[in-house]
Amino acid sequence: MNFFLIGYMGSGKSTIGSKLAQVLDYNFIDFDDYIQSKEKKTISEIFQSKGEIYFRKIENIYLKELIEDTTNTIISLGGGTPCYGNNMELIKASKHSKSIYLKASIPILTERLFNEKGKRPLIAHIDSKEEMVEFIGKHLFERTNYYNQSDATILTDNKSIEEITEKII
């Protein structure tokens, strides 16, 4: 069985994913880390040197590879992974797997992301919290339809890592 964690940047996919893997004694893969180690570059370097379209192409290729090769694994996807190409179909068609959407509100995402935007090329240019709120709101409007195709949704606002992990289990 594999579990895919889906959600916007800053929704806690990696933190919850590694906790869940620890509790369930599963393997854990952070998909951004997987891409970085395959490409031998950080996500920011890939965006900078090759552009977003290249990133979306390799994201799709590595997702197929990962789905074929893994079992008993918690996989934290990138925030955009389910929203491009046939990625959401691949996730849904992948055997013995469940997808879980970690849903967080715009104010909470803004607070988290404003302080750690450096490693995230899509938001690195945003200067104020007001702009960040507007950007996330628009982006979520475009992406929610994909996120909502997950098998389950967990509302994460005001919940501890332990509470969210427990709820998923």
Contact residue for ligand S3P among 36, 105, 121, 131 (CB under 6 A)? 121
The residue behind tokens 């007001």 is 130
Cα–Cα distances (Å) from 140 to 57, 80, 96, 132, 146, in that order, read 21, 10, 28, 12, 10
Q: CB-wise, 96 or 133, nearer to ligand S3P?
A: 133
Q: CB-wise, 43 or 168, nearer to ligand S3P?
A: 43
Contact flag: residue 122 with ligand S3P (CB under 6 A): yes
Contact flag: residue 79 with ligand S3P (CB under 6 A): yes
Q: How far apart are CA 128 and CA 87, in angstroms?
A: 32
Contact flag: residue 120 with ligand S3P (CB under 6 A): yes
Q: CB-wise, 78 or 150, nearer to ligand S3P?
A: 78
Amino acid at 27: N
In the complex, what is the shortest distance from the CB of residue 80 to ligand S3P, in angstroms, rounded to a whole number?
2
Q: Footprint of ligand S3P on residues 15-54 (CB under 6 A)? A: 32, 43
Let me know how long the chain is: 169
Torsion 68-82-25-37 (CA) sign: positive
Q: How many residues line the site for ligand S3P (CB under 6 A)?
A: 10
